[in-house]
Each structure stands twice: as structure tokens, then as C-alpha cells.
Structure 1
């Protein structure tokens, strides 16, 4: 099992544990708030990009063209928040969900020391004391694990290199 696959399995296990305890957890199919309000363009390791590229390559050509147009627009966008260029805005779904990066897998289930929970709806529930039994994942540990997965680039950079055969 690759380091990335092991990391994904660990993340998926933690996420499922939280979902089992809280079946009404906000993060799930139909919720795309985080995808529509990114603070910055996602950064991926080389290993994450290799997996994501497989998902992109399997998309129908017309969907891949839309992603490409969104990537180009995002690369020059100065304003924030950022909408994920992979998001299908009409359905609110991720067409490469199975190959999504670690940041997408951990969002809403992991926290970083001194950085909060990020999702306003989850932060509100946590502040109200509704999530006292949640054992949050340690995102600092995730970041440490990612350091062994190769070079890190912006999603738009990886995509541009792939599209231009670099």
C-alpha cells in the first residue's frame, strides 16, 4: 500500500467514525460550501496530483474542457473566495471525488492547532457544545505525512503542466 493510500485510509476511517457517531454531520453529499469558498487555490503533492490526474483523464471530453476553462480563469483570479475548478456547479458534486486531494478529504473532520475549524456551520455547532464527543483529526500530523509525497504545487500549476505536456 502506498503512503498516500495508507493516509487516505486513515482519514476515511476517522471520517467514518465521526459520521457513525453523528449521522447528521454537515459534510456530505449535497454540501459543497467548502468547494465554493476556498481561501486559496489548493496545493497538492506530486502523489496527490498523480491520483487526481487519473480521475481527470477519465472525465468526458466536454467536462474536461469546462475544468480547463475554470483552471485558466482561476489562475488569474485575484479575488477571494475561490471556487474549486473541479466542482460541477450545476450539481454541486465533485466529478473526481474518488481521487480528491487530502485537503478535501480532511475538511470538516480535522483541525490544526490554533487555526480553528474553518467551516462556519461546524464551528457554530462546536461553539454551542453539540460536538463535545468528536475526536478531531490532527491536521498538523496530516501535513507532516504529506511532506513525503513529493513536490507541492498549486492545482492550477499541476493542471497547466499536464495540459501542456510538461
Structure 2
């Protein structure tokens, strides 16, 4: 699977999305640098297993995710299509991300993942706060007072320039 930097150079038409990715990567990197014990890392898939709703993606995010999906073996892609199809029939929360490999807890399209996946656990949204119960517990205990959180409202405004937004199930229905 290509690295993020090769994706950037291969997709100049999505440069605003990749600039946003770079900004997010910088914030995430700064938090990880000062907090090596950060819970959001390889092996933690809690957020992937507790989605509140079917993910929504912009057209640019879908284009990137679609590239990642096309790198998968046919049987894995079919399993993801099947899982997305089940979501389209009114799955109730919490929703498990259809991309998640439930056995390993890994994302097979990690380098191609949407902005919401990249910011979760590192950004907060005014009026809504944090979303991860593990991080919320640490904040309540005063353990993360030194963290400079990213502003999710700024991310959402920047992302709004990345084309129309549809649910993952709608994008799949239009494409497959």
C-alpha cells in the first residue's frame, strides 16, 4: 500500500484534502510526541467498534477511500460491501465500521481513511467535547491538562470544500 506522501504526489487534484491531512497529522504528531502513552494507537479499535451513525464522507474523501478499497483482495472487498449493505438496512448504534478487520482490529485502508477517522481522539468540537470514553476518563482525572487539542469545527469547515457529502452507504450504492 502506498504511503501518505506518495498518495499526495499522485493526487494533486485533491491537494486541499491532503493539506488538511497534513494539518491533522501535525496535530496528532504533536500530541503523540508529548504523550507517548496516548491511547489512540495501533491495537485500539474502540472508536471503530462504536460509531454513533453511518459515516459521512465528502466526495474527495470517498475518492481516496475508493482507491484504498480497490487495493484490497476481491474477497475482502466483498466482505466490506456486504457489511455496508447491512448498514443500509437500518443498523442501530453502536455501529461497527464495515472496513474494520474485526479479528486483528486493524483498518485495511488506513492510509486512505476519512478525516473523521484521522481526527478522532485528538480533536474536540465546541459544545460537544470529546467522544472517546477512555480519553474522557483521563481528562476527568486531570491527566491531560497539558494537551493542546485540535479544533474539530475548523476541520469541518475546511472539509466542507471537498465536495458533496453522502453517507458511506450512499457512496457504495452509487459506485458498486
Instruction: Spell out, residue by residue over 1:115-140, the C-alpha distance to the aligned partner (whole angstroms, 9 max, x if none).
Output: 01110000000111000110000000
**1:85-124 to 2 correspondences below 5 Å:** 85-124=98-137
TM score, norm. by length of structure 2: 0.91
Please name the residue that 1:3 is paired with.
Answer: 16
- How much does 1:114 deviate? 1.1
State how far apart, in whole Å, the 2-side matches of 1:98 and 1:109 are.
Answer: 17
Match of 2:93 among 57, 77, 80: 80
Match of 2:38 among 17, 22, 25: 25
Alignment partner of 1:40 is 2:53: yes
- How much does 1:65 deviate? 0.7
State how far apart, in whole Å, the 2-side matches of 1:78 and 1:158 are.
Answer: 17
- How much does 1:78 deviate? 3.6
TM score, norm. by length of structure 1: 0.96
Match of 1:13 among 26, 30, 45: 26
Instruction: Spell out, residue by residue over 1:98-121, the C-alpha distance to the aligned partner (whole angstroms, 9 max, x if none).
Output: 000000000000000010111000
The size of the alignment, in residue pairs, is 163
Unaligned runs of 5+ in 2: 1-11
Please identify runs of 4+ aligned residues in structure 1 that moved more than 6 A.
none
**1:64-75 to 2 correspondences below 5 Å:** 64-75=77-88
Please name the residue that 2:166 is paired with.
Answer: 153
Indicate the RMSD between aligned Cα atoms, in angstroms: 0.8
Unaligned runs of 5+ in 1: none
State how far apart, in whole Å, the 2-side matches of 1:134 and 1:10 are.
Answer: 16
Partner SS for 1:20: helix
Match of 1:142 among 143, 151, 155: 155
